[in-house]
Amino acid sequence: MVDLRILAPTHVIPSKKNKLINYVENIVTDLNKKVEIELFWFIFQPDIIKDKKDNFLDIHNFDNAIELLQKIKPDCIFANNNSREPISYSLSIAAKYLKIPLVYYYLNDLPPIIGNQPDIGFTKNMSILLRNFFSDKVVTDTQGNASKMRRGKFFVYKNMFLFKTRIIIGTNSVKAIKLLIDDLILYVRYKKPIWNKLSDLNLCSNIDYYNFLIKIGIEKNKINITGNPFWDKIFEKVKVRKNNKKQNKNNIKILVLTGSLVEHGFWKAEQRDTYLEKIFSELQKEKNISFDLKIHPASEDIIFYEKFMKKQNCKSKIYQQENIWDIIDNYDLVLSYGFSTSHTECAYGGIKMILLDVDWNFKKFALVNEGISSGFIIECKKFEEIQKCILDLLSTEIVFNEELLTAREKLAYKFDGNAGERAATAIVELIKKY
């Protein structure tokens, strides 16, 4: 007999293991050690989902969040604390209306910045928003899904889902329209706050995020410092991984980690293509260098890369659904660009990485600077210096300096792989109170 039913929203099919899916599934694994769990995924995509499973709930089958919750009757709802994301926010206000325990997760490793983002001004934000709104694809689409203004139309659809939810819980039409306009202004002006105080439990990844939650007015008894469950399984792989394997300079294997900068509106397609062409051109100059690609499991289109690589007369493998930790031992080092959680993974686990940044000044994710100071991550500022960086990095030993070890412990709260267990305990205790 099922003890607890949990509902979590996702914009990707759960078989595509992005960070959210791994985060939630790691918690559910530990919850199942305590009680029997039935996990429902509420999937929101522009099209009706084709992958039919009993625990997959399609947004197109529901008019609002109240209708969804009344049908599923979950004992607990997981959501993202982001009032600008209409589906998570719809579930949040519906959960409070129906008195269902609401748990907020936070996927990022560093706390939000209070105030305007330092690297995104109004003009840049507007450029990204307009590019995304008029895009013919959403982040998870392949080339075959494209249609005129597909992303903008789905943006409207999601906000209407929130609008209808507000009406159902008793918000009058005039106020609901005003709130909708306010939401749109938030998108355009890119102003904080985007967070709210609705949840009964905030799963807190580290002390820095705890301090952030306190600063924005979250009550202490609604915060539980657990660490980030995303890292639990990676922690286990890091423990058994052997660093500093013997290098063969006559057969150098590179894993290129791409980035979904186009899909998230930071780049135009032409900018990505030019960047990749120059990278591949440099790597192909040396016969002793071979390379394969690892693209984002949910946000990048493998069909594009297959066609692109064919044009480049390149026979490299293209990984997508594979976990980087399951393939990394086949390679001597990683070459990447942009900004990605994968960069934090490389720093976290001691994977040699060249971080290419030619004329962009990309922001760096957590632990990357510490990986650079340790010496096993190096920055490359020119395409023509890629080969030199490869040779320099091959001869470098992987050493975790004190700065990185301290930062990793701080980031993880406790570097022990038990964040999911702590989160599971906190969730069970919360539900007992209802």
**What's the pLDDT band for 193 if we cut at 50, 70, 90?**
low
CB neighbour list of residue 284: distance below 8 Å, 6 or more residues apart: 314
The pLDDT of residue 58 is 96
Residue with tokens 């300096």: 401
Q: Please tell me which residue, 410 or 138, carries the higher pLDDT value.
A: 410
Q: Which amino acid is at 122?
A: F
Examine the pLDDT at 374 and tell me if it is beyond 80.
Answer: yes
For 340-353, the pLDDT digits (tens) are 999 999 999 999 99
- Of 12, 11, 17, give the one whose Cα is nearest residue 322: 17
- The pLDDT of residue 172 is above 80: yes
Rounded to 5°, the CA angle 350-212-341 comes to 30
The pTM score is: 0.88
pLDDT at residue 190 in the model: 63
pLDDT at 373 over 60: yes
| pLDDT surpasses 70 at 202 | yes
How many Å apart are CA 324 and CA 256, to the nearest integer? Answer: 11
Average pLDDT over residues 149-166: 93
Measured CA to CA, the distance from residue 121 to residue 312 in angstroms comes to 36
pLDDT over 90 (residue 152): no
4-228+413-433 and 245-410, same CATH topology: yes
Place of tokens 């890119």: 190
Percent helix, strand and coil across the chain, each to the nearest 5: 45, 15, 40
Q: Is 383 exposed, middle or buried (0-12, 13-18, 19+ CB in 10 A)?
A: middle
Where are the domains positioned within the chain? Answer: 4-228+413-433, 245-410
For domain 245-410, the question of CATH label 3.30.1490.20 is answered with no
The CATH-assigned architecture of domain 4-228+413-433 is 3-Layer(aba) Sandwich (3.40)
Summary mean pLDDT of the chain: 90
Judge whether 138 and 301 are in contact, CB under 8 Å: no
Provide mean pLDDT across the span 367-390: 96
Predicted confidence at residue 377, as pLDDT, reads 97
Rounded CA-CA distance 160/154 in Å is: 10
Give the model confidence (pLDDT) of 247-258 as tens digits. 677 789 999 999
Q: Is the peptide bond before 9 cis (omega within 30 degrees of 0)?
A: no
Whether the Cβ atoms of residue 391 and residue 361 lie closer than 8 Å to each other: no
Q: Which two tokens stand for residue 70?
A: 């009344």
Backbone angles phi, psi at 160, to 5 degrees: -70, -30
Take residue 105 and report the two structure tokens written for it.
Answer: 């997760």
pLDDT (average), residues 7-31: 93
270 phi and psi angles, rounded to 5 deg: -65, -35
